[in-house]
């Protein structure tokens, strides 16, 4: 959930990169809260609605999932459980019933792809803007 392709670190990296670039322009960008920062970027037009939706949904989903895993495993892990049984319990919490573990993993992968696509679009746009200014 935290590390890897399309995980929380992608969302946090984009937020911090944009804070470094645009933080001097808006007080609302200078927040230690990633969730608040991506909202501020959307409000100011720094990120597009589509990318905001991906980052916002991903952030909420992964944080919620991370908290559930920590509760069920009674640890400070940021990784998905390997056990189908535990994944099934977490999936039930999300409302998935039959084959909940597989459905949860499908949603997890879909959100990761969406977050990484937003990450790539934002990063590429910022890189191109910087190169155009050289």
For residue 58, give every residue at least 6 positions away whose Cβ sits within 8 Å of its Cβ, in sequence order, or none: 6, 8, 11, 111, 112, 114, 115, 118
Q: What is the pTM of this model?
A: 0.88
Q: Answer for the pair 37, 17: CB distance below 8 angstroms, yes or no.
A: no
Report the percentage of the chain scoring pLDDT > 90. 56
Domains of the chain with CATH codes: 8-132 (1.20.120.330)
> For the residues 98-122, what does the mean pLDDT come to?
91
**pLDDT of residue 14 exceeding 90:** yes
What are 19-38's pLDDT values in tens digits? 999 999 889 999 999 999 99
Distance CA 47, CA 17 (A): 12
CB-CB neighbours of 3 under 10 Å: 10
**pLDDT of residue 117 exceeding 80:** yes
Distance CA 78, CA 67 (A): 9
What are 40-95's pLDDT values in tens digits? 999 999 999 999 999 999 999 999 999 888 888 778 877 787 888 888 888 888 88
């Amino acid at each position: 959930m935290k590390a890897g392709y399309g995980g929380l670190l992608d969302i946090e990296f984009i937020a911090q990169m944009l804070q470094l670039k645009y933080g001097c322009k808006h007080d609302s960008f200078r927040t230690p809260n990633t969730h608040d920062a991506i909202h501020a970027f959307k409000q100011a037009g720094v990120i597009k609605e589509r990318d905001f939706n991906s980052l916002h949904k991903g952030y909420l989903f992964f944080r919620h999932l991370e908290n559930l895993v920590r509760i069920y495993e009674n640890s400070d892990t940021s990784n998905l459980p390997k056990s189908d049984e535990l994944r099934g319990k977490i999936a039930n919490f999300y409302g998935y019933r039959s084959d909940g573990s597989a459905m949860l993993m499908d949603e997890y992968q879909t959100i990761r792809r969406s977050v990484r696509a937003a990450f790539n679009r934002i990063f590429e746009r910022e890189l191109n803007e910087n190169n155009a200014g050289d």
